[in-house]
Structure 1
Amino acid sequence: MSETSRRTVLAGAAGVLAAAGFQQTARAEENGVRRPFTLTVLGTTDLHGNVFNWDYYANREFDDSGHNDIGLAKVSTLVNALREQRGRHRTLLVDAGDTIQGTPLAYYFAKVEPINRSRIHPMARAMNAIGYTAAALGNHEFNYGIPLLRAWERQLDFPLLAANALDPRGKPAFRPYVIKTIWRTGGPPLRVGIIGLTNPGIAIWDKANVTGQMTFPGVLEQARIWVPEVRRRADVVVVAAHSGADLSSSLGDQVPFPENCSALVAEEVPGIDAILVGHAHAEIAQRFVTNKQTGKQVLLTEPLFWGKRLSVMEFDLAYERGWQIKAKRSQVLNSNTAPEDPRIVRLLRPSHDKVVGYVNAKVGTCKAAMSAATARYEDTAALDFINHVQAQEIKKATQLPVLSLCAPFNRAAAIPAGEVTIRDVAGLYIFDNYLLGVKLTGAQLKDFLERSATYFKQVDGPGPYTPDQLGNGVPDYNYDVAAGLDKPLTYDIDIAKPQGQRIANLSYGGVPVTAEQEFAVAVNNYRQSGGGNFPHVAKAPVLHNAQQEIRQLLIDWVKEKGEIDPALFHTKDWRLVANGVPVQITTNG
């Protein structure tokens, strides 16, 4: 490349980085006879199958209230710009997990045309082309089973890391870490250790896929084992942890390890220089945690999910009888400032176009439009449709009265009146869950619904309120509504009452539900395995488990019937009240 061309490329890279909000900071000063060296470690996490800035469910470019963009094609442009500016040999790229699940693109190459030796996963093709150094495993990597995960692993040009995924012998089932040696012209080599840690919740959330094949000890516990070994071999130690920063867990007492604990790891385990955080779908531009034993500052950063952000970690090093970190910092770059990398577009366009065609295929019609926009706070036909299909399937396996539970997974989901496509139906159920039927008593059902009702804050009166004023910080996927199949299940959620005392007038077929009454209840595998820490359901007798994917059941139901008629299954069975008075909801703010 000529010097003129080189300057042109660098100028272009500088323009991309300036648009992304990249802040150049002062570098370490000269120290001794050797010049300082700045290592740049870039990070992504929770990509969830997003390559392009595209919403497959809406069939248009992605957009949200923050006008974010998504996808690896845009991330690639930012990565290229930083490599041009810093030098590829000074720049590493790491991911913190949840890569191969989350979009119709990811689903298609897991279920419709599964990957094999000749059919490469789009995320493997994109990440190989971008040039990742390593990636930690996320919990959603196990959703499609270990054989597909291994097939994806074989397609990668970089290692998958999971120090706390163990085989039946207690040995690492994946590489715990990798050491990357960076040769600096005129100086000694710099060795960077990257440790991957995944989430112990896999043992619960994907119990059917991993039981007897792998175990998942705690993030903190395994960090204590592996960080000292890597520290002895590396000058810089970076952990990619699929575990949120702040200590919390949805696992209850089902496993003895917390779900989110990256900051605790930084605090308790000496020898870590930085942690690339994942799993929490939060944004941390830069955060420092003091290690209790050494007093040193550990850098934490988490880029926003789906490729909305790219984390940029910088380490200023000087050689003083070994490499020493003199300063470190991080920031996040916004993908909506960058165009899609044409090279990634060319590579992945055929796969993308195939999936767009698949999700836009017509499967039937609908007599009246259904929307999930209000499903959090009022009974809707959209969720009644899911519950109806689930309950019909469970009825084939039992003589008990059948109920069903489902959550408002996607507020943007809507099935239009008229022609219905796969993407319309799939938008109602964006997770790759499987259907199970369990037996619950009336008392257990009430306990379950009380747990669900923690979704709402306690209020003084019936309002009016905006929907956001009622939310209690519980994710939508951890709020279930119930419905009966042959007879209506009716109940009030009294949000003026304290938690645990909110479910009132619980009746089946107009008759109050008794404590000992038995029901067959349709649930998804996430809930049945203990996801959300709901009572009773994880230990309830299983009546049905045919490994049927719920989203596909919905699609197949529409194909078979040819028409969705909400009048056949939609009734107003539950309501929000305050001291018995219906709560008033306004969307006008």
Structure 2
Amino acid sequence: MGRAQGRTSRTRRTAAGRGRLVAVVAVGALVAAAAPAAQADDRRGSRGATMTLVATTDLHGNLRDWDYFTGAPTAAGAEQGLARAASAIAEVRADRGPRSVLLVDNGDTIQGTPLTYVAARGSATSAPVTESGEEHPMATALNALGYDAAVLGNHEFNYGLDLLGRYEDDLDAPLLGGNVTDVATGEPAFAPWTIQRVRPAGGGALVDVGVVGLTTPGSQVWDRQNVEGRLAFGDMVEAAQRHVADVRAAGADVVVVLSHSGRSGPSSYDPSLPAENASDAIATQVPGVDVVVVGHSHQRGPETWLDSQATPGKKVLVTQPYRYGASVTATDLRLERTRAAQWRVVGADVEELRAGDFPEDPAFVDLVQPWHQRTLDYVSTVVATSATELTARDARWRDVPIMDFVHDVQRDVVAEGLAGTPDADLPVVSVAAPFRADAVFPAGEVTISDVAGLYIFDNTLQAVRMTGAQLHDYLEYSARYYAQVPPADPSDPASLNAGVTPDYNLDQLAGVTYDVDLARPVGDRIGELTIDGVVLGDDDEVVVAVNNYRRSGGGQFPHVATAPLVYDRQQDIRGLLIERAQETGSIDPADFAQENWRLVADGEPLFD
């Protein structure tokens, strides 16, 4: 496959894993092949100049502006995808000059769409890239656009370290992770930083740009089964203090930190672990930082200036492009030459380029078309016939059959797996959350895309042993999602959302019957729990089928992260749902739907 854009060489130095410093040749994409020859030894020039930092983040496998769940482009006003971003990047390079542009990606790149799932897991007609020898499609895309550096996101660990290693090997740019260490050796598992040489617009000496990469430590929680005993994740601020000093000592004029982390706020896991959202702290507490590129939180925030506490009088730019390639940030850094013959940042102008303002780049589309078509073939595969339409539209307010399909599969798989074990006689309870309100199984043919649209995350199935009292606490925590009634109006279900909990943390249970009384305050909403009409006592034990994200502590639900693990075969839940549909050939709510929970107010149902 050909390159989407021309390329030119750029010299860089990268601090490698295992503590080595290596010199390599980086490549930066060009809009046109013709460009002035680089003069690496030219340290002369004007006292003022500019260079441009272009950033993407949280691409999550969105190469095309295409929704594989609906089988159509994204809606007008919600355009996204790297194919559109490619056109924006080309425009910036044409306008500023290709040698003056540094292109970076801020992580969460190789997971998130059926395309990346097929690359990682394979399909009926293709093997995973770890077996086929094919280049990872996201590496192909980033290489074609000439990315200069990238950082690990937490979702890079979802498919295991073998797949991640393949992506790292395929990627031309250094994949940075300055706070990730190899448990066996205690040495860096990934390069912590790289120095890229950029020719400033307006002429003058080359600019040495140090790029430090850091990732949220939450991966040790969310992907524990993939990293435990192999990788350790340190505090991002402490790592930044070390590596920014190192990259400055190595000669960096400008320092950019790629922070796959939210700006600030509480962690979604045990607060005794290093903070999940540390970007603002890096910007304000670490000396020597000029720009922090933010990700992870899927927010849009092209330009925020923070006062450095480490260097009084200095302001640090914090910039966050929008997720899925929905926008690109282009930051023109204004530079001034110091008496010490070094560049320093004296200001910046930030432009957010939105995907909807650019067409998909035709050459890029051609490049990724084979993977796009392979994914279309995969998601269009019919797996079963549904007796009636099943929708998740009301799943946040009612016990709906489409969610019971998930519960039924999880309970059956765990019960079968526990046969012959000491826990075989315990009741099995299932936990699941309504990920997408627009998920639907149509009446008639159900495809893989329909099932994937219901279960959008790459979670695996696990099970733990919990007591009745612990399960009660768990449900009370989940019920924080809802506002108290009154004043909420049951005729408007959306008013019942208190607005503090995302839908993926609204856990619902099957295998146990309960009411959620919204007339009562948070923490006192769940009454008796019963199983087959018998009250579940505080000391009674049950097996709880749950996904690995929740069992590892994601969402900070009580007890589940410390409960004894009784089942874990690394089975992909989405794959289990697809297998059930294929095995039975039909999806009929009469076979699995049971209404076992409801919303009430003072004991009276809110909905019929």
Query: CA offset at residue 324 of structure 1?
Result: 2.4
Residue in 2 aligned with 1:71? Answer: 81
Q: 1:287 aligns with which of 291, 304, 315?
A: 304
Residue in 2 aligned with 1:234? Answer: 252
**Alpha-carbon separation, structure 1, partners of 2:552 and 2:381:** 33
Query: CA offset at residue 354 of structure 1?
Result: 1.0
**Alpha-carbon separation, structure 2, partners of 1:183 and 1:229:** 22
Q: 2:510 aligns with which of 483, 500, 503?
A: 483
Query: CA offset at residue 468 of structure 1?
Result: 3.6
Residue in 2 aligned with 1:320? Answer: 338
Deviations 1:221-244 (A, max 9, x none): 211211111223211110110100
Q: 2:553 aligns with which of 524, 530, 535?
A: 530
**Alpha-carbon separation, structure 1, partners of 2:493 and 2:267:** 25
Q: Give the partner amino acid of 2:97.
A: G
* Moved segments of 4+, more than 4 Å: none
Report if the CA contact (8 A) 2:49-2:203 is conserved. Answer: no
Q: State whether structure 2 residue 198 is matched by structure 1 residue 182.
A: yes
Query: CA offset at residue 466 of structure 1?
Result: 3.2
**Alpha-carbon separation, structure 2, partners of 1:497 and 1:329:** 51
Residue in 2 aligned with 1:460? Answer: 486
Any idea what SS the aligned residue of 2:336 has? strand
Q: State whether structure 2 residue 404 is matched by structure 1 residue 381.
A: no
Deviations 1:67-119 (A, max 9, x none): 21111100000000000000011101111110000000000010012114741
Mapping for residues 395-414 of structure 1, pairs under 5 Å: 395-396=415-416, 397=418, 398-414=424-440
Any idea what SS the aligned residue of 2:454 has? coil
Report if the CA contact (8 A) 1:115-1:152 is conserved. Answer: no
Q: 2:474 aligns with which of 425, 430, 448?
A: 448
Residue in 2 aligned with 1:509? Answer: 532
Residue in 2 aligned with 1:157? Answer: 172
Report if the CA contact (8 A) 1:461-1:578 is conserved. Answer: no
Q: State whether structure 2 residue 349 is matched by structure 1 residue 348.
A: no
**Alpha-carbon separation, structure 2, partners of 1:407 and 1:109:** 26
**Alpha-carbon separation, structure 2, partners of 1:89 and 1:478:** 45
Residue in 2 aligned with 1:172? Answer: 188
Q: Give the partner amino acid of 2:149.
A: A
Number of residue equivalences: 548
**Alpha-carbon separation, structure 2, partners of 1:468 and 1:268:** 41
Query: CA offset at residue 34 of structure 1?
Result: 2.2
Residue in 1 aligned with 2:601? Answer: 578
Report if the CA contact (8 A) 1:248-1:261 is conserved. Answer: no
**Alpha-carbon separation, structure 2, partners of 1:324 and 1:177:** 19
Residue in 2 aligned with 1:438? Answer: 464
**Alpha-carbon separation, structure 2, partners of 1:506 and 1:386:** 21
Query: CA offset at residue 584 of structure 1?
Result: 5.6
Q: Give the partner amino acid of 1:138.
A: G
Q: 1:107 aligns with which of 102, 117, 131?
A: 117
**Alpha-carbon separation, structure 2, partners of 1:444 and 1:160:** 41
Any idea what SS the aligned residue of 1:427 has? helix
Relative distance call for 1:49 and 1:33 in structure 2 (3 A) is closer
Report if the CA contact (8 A) 2:45-2:205 is conserved. Answer: no
**Alpha-carbon separation, structure 1, partners of 2:410 and 2:585:** 18
Residue in 2 aligned with 1:38? Answer: 50
**Alpha-carbon separation, structure 2, partners of 1:507 and 1:38:** 67
Residue in 1 aligned with 2:7? Answer: none
**Alpha-carbon separation, structure 2, partners of 1:416 and 1:483:** 23
Report if the CA contact (8 A) 2:291-2:318 is conserved. Answer: yes
The percentage of aligned residue pairs carrying the same residue is 45
**Alpha-carbon separation, structure 2, partners of 1:466 and 1:264:** 40
Any idea what SS the aligned residue of 2:513 has? strand
**Alpha-carbon separation, structure 1, partners of 2:277 and 2:208:** 28
Unaligned runs of 5+ residues in structure 1 are 1-12, 14-31
**Alpha-carbon separation, structure 2, partners of 1:498 and 1:194:** 49
Residue in 1 aligned with 2:41? Answer: none
Any idea what SS the aligned residue of 1:395 has? helix
Q: Give the partner amino acid of 1:92.
A: L
Report if the CA contact (8 A) 2:49-2:204 is conserved. Answer: no
**Alpha-carbon separation, structure 2, partners of 1:462 and 1:230:** 54
**Alpha-carbon separation, structure 2, partners of 1:537 and 1:293:** 40
Query: CA offset at residue 170 of structure 1?
Result: 2.0
Mapping for residues 252-263 of structure 1, pairs under 5 Å: 252-253=270-271, 255-263=272-280
Q: Give the partner amino acid of 1:141.
A: E
Mapping for residues 12-23 of structure 1, pairs under 5 Å: none
**Alpha-carbon separation, structure 2, partners of 1:127 and 1:256:** 32
Relative distance call for 1:364 and 1:188 in structure 2 (3 A) is same
Any idea what SS the aligned residue of 2:147 has? coil
Query: CA offset at residue 429 of structure 1?
Result: 0.6
Deviations 1:554-586 (A, max 9, x none): 00001111101112221221112233233369x
Report if the CA contact (8 A) 1:302-1:311 is conserved. Answer: yes
Report if the CA contact (8 A) 1:461-1:496 is conserved. Answer: no
Deviates more, 1:359-368 or 1:33-42: 33-42
Q: Give the partner amino acid of 2:399.
A: D
Any idea what SS the aligned residue of 2:155 has? helix
Q: Give the partner amino acid of 1:40.
A: T
**Alpha-carbon separation, structure 2, partners of 1:517 and 1:530:** 23
Report if the CA contact (8 A) 1:372-1:382 is conserved. Answer: yes
**Alpha-carbon separation, structure 1, partners of 2:154 and 2:491:** 36
Q: Give the partner amino acid of 2:507.
A: D
TM-score normalized with structure 1 length: 0.90
**Alpha-carbon separation, structure 2, partners of 1:325 and 1:426:** 46
CA RMSD for the aligned pairs? Answer: 1.7
Q: Give the partner amino acid of 2:298.
A: H
**Alpha-carbon separation, structure 2, partners of 1:492 and 1:473:** 21
Deviates more, 1:230-239 or 1:548-557: 230-239
Q: State whether structure 2 residue 231 is matched by structure 1 residue 214.
A: yes
Any idea what SS the aligned residue of 1:436 has? strand
Residue in 2 aligned with 1:247? Answer: 265
TM-score normalized with structure 2 length: 0.88
Relative distance call for 1:462 and 1:76 in structure 2 (3 A) is closer
Mapping for residues 551-566 of structure 1, pairs under 5 Å: 551-566=574-589
Deviations 1:258-282 (A, max 9, x none): 1112111111111110111010000
Deviations 1:511-563 (A, max 9, x none): 22210111111100111111111111111112211111100100000111110
Q: 1:549 aligns with which of 572, 580, 595?
A: 572
**Alpha-carbon separation, structure 1, partners of 2:516 and 2:238:** 41
Deviations 1:333-364 (A, max 9, x none): 11011110111111111111011011101111
Relative distance call for 1:411 and 1:222 in structure 2 (3 A) is same
Report if the CA contact (8 A) 1:262-1:275 is conserved. Answer: yes
Residue in 1 aligned with 2:148? Answer: 133
**Alpha-carbon separation, structure 1, partners of 2:457 and 2:245:** 38
Any idea what SS the aligned residue of 1:215 has? strand
Q: Give the partner amino acid of 2:376.
A: V
Unaligned runs of 5+ residues in structure 2 are 1-30, 32-43, 419-423
Q: State whether structure 2 residue 205 is matched by structure 1 residue 199.
A: no
Q: 2:413 aligns with which of 365, 371, 393?
A: 393
Residue in 2 aligned with 1:87? Answer: 97
Report if the CA contact (8 A) 2:101-2:198 is conserved. Answer: no
Report if the CA contact (8 A) 2:489-2:496 is conserved. Answer: no
Q: Give the partner amino acid of 1:170.
A: G
**Alpha-carbon separation, structure 2, partners of 1:157 and 1:38:** 26
Relative distance call for 1:466 and 1:267 in structure 2 (3 A) is farther
Relative distance call for 1:494 and 1:457 in structure 2 (3 A) is same
**Alpha-carbon separation, structure 2, partners of 1:62 and 1:477:** 22
**Alpha-carbon separation, structure 1, partners of 2:487 and 2:172:** 59
Any idea what SS the aligned residue of 1:174 has? coil
Deviations 1:406-434 (A, max 9, x none): 01112221001111111111111111111
